[in-house]
Structure 1
Amino acid sequence: MSKNLVQYIIMRGDLAKSSKWNAGALVAQACHGVSAVLHLYYNDENVQEYLCDVDRMHKVVLEISDLNSLMELETKLKNKGIHHKTWIEQPENEATCLVVKPYPKEDVAEFFKDLKLFNKKL
């Protein structure tokens, strides 16, 4: 890849503390979000470049504290024109994660600088 493309996945930390969201359920949420955003933006130049070298994809999984914080981040990204997908799990109608389409790291890293790696003991 010529660009330093990265895909950010933002997981709600409060779900990891809830007994109804085990490790498998949380991983599934991230997978749903990634699949959705790659589908939605499939024809995007960055997405196509990212998918050309599947053995070198770069993803960063970060934690955000709760639903309100996730929605604030979603609003900030929308206002700045950063393409993403907030995954809403059904039938629970619960926003579980937010996934950004692949971007050059320098274009989007500022939005995530205050978040830590998702590192929950499950």
Structure 2
Amino acid sequence: MATIGDLMRTTRFVQWGLRGDPVLWERMRDALMQTPLPPSADALRQILHATFQGITGHPLARSDAPLPVESLLKDNGGMSNGLVSPMFWIDTAFPTIEQRYTEERSKT
């Protein structure tokens, strides 16, 4: 049975938002590897938003301001180390996951 984490196994982004975004992608993927695909896209969105908030400590909201997430800091960081771009998740990451969900559901 496919899981939400399976939808996040590959990344094909030409550009990430900030340095914390790929780390958050990995953390969310790992957190969702045992979560079966929900029955609807709305339920998927709720799970994604709850997981985002659970890991970052911030609700996802449309904002150009980066979100600092201490748990995402890496030793080899840079200026945007540990920062997450809400707009990347709203405009790119979540729509990508939702598209993969739709494709996966159409196979059944």
**TM-score (structure 2 length as normaliser):** 0.34
Higher relative contact order by CA 8 Å / sep ≥ 6: 1 or 2? 1
Task: Give the structure with the higher percent helix.
Answer: 2
Task: Give the structure with the higher percent strand.
Answer: 1
